[in-house]
Structure 1
Amino acid sequence: MRFLACLLLLQTIISAAEAWAQRLPIFNGKDLSGWHADVPEKDKNPDIGPSFIVRDGMLVSLGRPLGHLITDDVYENYRITAEYRFPGETGNCGILVHASTPRALYDMFPKSIEVQMMHENAGDFWCIVEDIAVENMVARRGKKEDWGVTEGKNRRILNLTDGSENPAGEWNEMVIECFGDRVKVWVNGDLVNEGFNATASRGQVAIQAEGAEVEFKKLELEPIAGLTP
């Protein structure tokens, strides 16, 4: 019995190690295969320029026209590693996890949980018709009666740290871990946010075009399996 238990444990460890070793190239460095753009302005002006391009092997969000680049595939229990920078003027951008219904908020944003990338605010959560809880909710989200996930509600949840980002123009590493109903975020090695009781646990991944140009020189996704939340 003891031998069988050890064998099962070994198999579990091997399976977990194999899962962790898998890195799915959700961006292949060549083109936007596996992604599709949702840019509302294109509904009326289909000839408007792109919001997302590949340049020098990097995925680039040009910031405008406003919209989202969304994976074709749906993911569950995964970790995203992104290396990004604002090459020019800093501004707004974000990575959306557990994305689903398109244009669910303000006829623009897909139903999701946004991990903010805006300079000096990286790691904030924004609830977009999905919700998530954190410790010290009142201090980090404001009065409970103002909380919500739709237009006009307090959807922002402040991160845990100041000063985790590198100076403007330099590269940052953001790691987003989604497992079960929990989402954890690190910026340059610092744990900057941790949420639980998320109302979604699977979905697409989306990158925003929200006003500022952002370069991604690394964008990887790896599954998390065989571990406990």
Structure 2
Amino acid sequence: MKFLFVPLLVTAFSIHASAADPVMRPLFNGKDLTGWTGDGYVVEDGTIVCTPAGKNLVTEGTYTSYILDFEFKLPPGGNNGLGIHYPGYGDSAYTGMELQILDNTAPQYANLLDTQYHGSIYKLAAAKKGFLKPVGEWNRERVSVLGPAVMVELNGEIILRQNLDDLAARNPEHQGVKRRSGHIAFLGHGDPVAFRNIGIVEVPPAANTEGVIAAGFKQIFDGKSLNGWKHDPDNTHNWFVSNDVLKHDGKEGATNDLWTEKSYKDFTLVFDWRWAGDGEKMQRPIVLPDGNNKTNDKGEPVTEEIEELDSGIYLRGSEKSQVNLWNWSVGSGEVYGYRTDKNQTPAVRAGVTPKMKADAPVGQWNRTMITLKGDRLTVVLNGRVVIENAQLPDVNQEGPIGLQHHGQAIDFANLWIKEL
């Protein structure tokens, strides 16, 4: 079988902003702290206010490339911060990165380092000074995190532009600057700093639209709606669309798995996906290249602790012929229903076991191509062939494609298909 490496797949993982003035999705509803975790913050008159007990207030979701808008008001000497790419543990300024939110006009901050002033990436990169409004007035800030590029705009003035790859090279001991996804957080120090009008637009990977159309592919997700997918518009709240990204919030709902209205026979499917939230630590089997689970000398299962993240793509209407997207050590691309079926031949079970783990780090985008022709399956993940011409005996000859929800938040983008 020849592999069809379409232009969409080989396009570099560049990031694009879809609009000069993007439509923001609220991260704060103005009423309560739904969507956030942490203690020491209260909602007053449509604003989030840090109390004397306030430390970290963290988004439930994780983000990789985005534009974030918010307004903030500082009291005299007020000190807070914006955490980006925060993993949810440790000192957020070092396990992630902290953008300073600070009244650096206060006398106690007379001897700050340049990298400690407002808008700076704490201890890493200095922002331009002089664009904060007087204490007690509202400031408007936009933070753009697009791949390695970070930009901070304060009250309409660009005060910081940095490349995280360059910063990481100059600061090899700093773990957070190496991250490219994580939570967003407000990092309090007990001062009554207030926040409002918090909104985000997520930016999916760029796609060579002209190239995939020329190659005969058609969109099965229009980037704006769930048109073409089986759903009840009044009861599909856990699946939603935001700036060309199809998102599942990880929670149970009336519609969990999402199926195409159309059925397909032979096809190549290309799409991007990423984990958009945290998983739970669990013990999971170690899968061997022959498809069997590893055991010790006594025949007992050998497991390892992982962050359980699990979803998949159902092929031709069947849960058995599911290409897994997950965080097991064997890697995404595995076909669990066939690998674990002891009635299948050793060749079949080995064939549906990935040759390697090609997943990007958790939270970052993955680009996947699935080709199913007859009963033969090939899966390419991030440009690497992980399943090659594997046989799926008795697979359905035709059926819809499904996106599985298995308990964790997940994003999809750039879903294209070519019927063969």
Q: TM-score range by the shorter chain?
A: 0.5 to 0.7
The more displaced of 198-207 and 73-82 is 198-207
Aligned to 2:33: 32
Q: Work out whether residues 176 and 186 of structure 1, in 8 Å CA contact, stay in contact via their aligned partners in 2.
A: yes
Partners of 1:115 and 1:191 in 2: how far apart?
A: 14
CA distance 1:221–1:110, change in 2 (3 Å): farther
Q: Could you tell me which amino acid in structure 2 is paired with residue 184 of structure 1?
A: M
**1:219 counterpart (198, 203, 209):** 198
Whole-Å separation in 1 of the counterparts to 2:178 and 2:102 = 24
Gaps of 5+ in 2: 1-16, 105-116, 166-176, 208-420
Code of the residue aligned with 1:218 in structure 2: it is N
CA distance in 2, matches of 1:188, 1:122: 12
- 1:28-73 Cα distance to aligned partner (Å, 9 max, x none): 1011011110xxxxxxxxxxxx5101100111122x2242010010
CA positional deviation for 1:89: 2.6
- Hey, what does 1:136 align to over in structure 2? none
**What is the aligned counterpart of 1:16 among 15, 18, 41?**
18
Q: Secondary structure at the match of 1:75?
A: coil
Please give the secondary structure, in 1, of the residue aligned with 2:102.
coil
Instruction: Supply the distance in 2 between the matched residues of 1:223 and 1:172 (Cα, whole angstroms).
Output: 22
Whole-Å Cα distance in 1 between the matches of residues 53 and 73 of structure 2?
A: 19
Any unmatched runs of 5+ in structure 1? 1-14, 38-49, 127-154
- Equivalents in 2 of 1:116, 1:207: separation in Å? 10
What are the within-5 Å matches in structure 2 for residues 1-150 of structure 1?
A: 16-17=18-19, 21-37=22-38, 50-62=39-51, 64-86=52-74, 88-102=75-89, 104-105=90-91, 111-120=95-104, 121-126=117-122
Deviations 1:140-190 (A, max 9, x none): xxxxxxxxxxxxxxx34321x221111111111111000101111111111
CA-CA distance at 1:211 after TM superposition: 2.9
Identity across matched positions, percent: 26
Deviation at 1:101, TM superposition (A): 4.0
In 2: Cα distance, 1:124 partner to 1:118 partner: 10
2:86–2:96 CA contact under 8 A, matched in 1:
yes
Structure 1 runs (4+) deviating above 4 angstroms are 19-22
- The change in CA–CA distance for 1:226 and 1:22 in structure 2 (over 3 A counts) is farther
Q: How far off its partner does 1:222 sit?
A: 1.0
Structure 2 CA distance, aligned partners of 1:213 and 1:68? 13
Within a 5 Å distance, the mapping from 1:163-202 to structure 2 comes to: 163-196=130-163, 197=165, 198-202=177-181
* Deviation (angstroms), 1:206: 0.3
Whether the 8 Å contact between 1:16 and 1:227 is mirrored in structure 2 is: no
CA–CA distance in structure 2, aligned partners of residues 110 and 23 of structure 1: 28
1:162 to 129, 144, 151: 129
Q: Tell me how many residue pairs correspond in the alignment.
A: 167
Report the AA paired with residue 94 of structure 1.
G
RMSD in angstroms over aligned alpha carbons? 2.4
Following superposition, the deviation at residue 20 of structure 1 comes to 6.7
Letter in 1 for 2:25: L
Per-residue CA deviations over 1:181-226 (Å, capped at 9, x if unaligned) read 1111111111111111141221110011213111112111111246
Query: Within 1, Cα distance between the matches of 2:150 and 2:103?
Result: 20
Partner letter of residue 67 of structure 1?
Answer: K
**8 A contact 2:70–2:198 mirrored in 1:** yes
Q: Is the 8 A contact 2:40 2:53 kept in 1?
A: yes
TM-score relative to the length of structure 1: 0.66
Letter of the 1:100 partner, please give it: P
Q: CA deviation at 1:90?
A: 2.7
**8 A contact 2:48–2:195 mirrored in 1:** yes
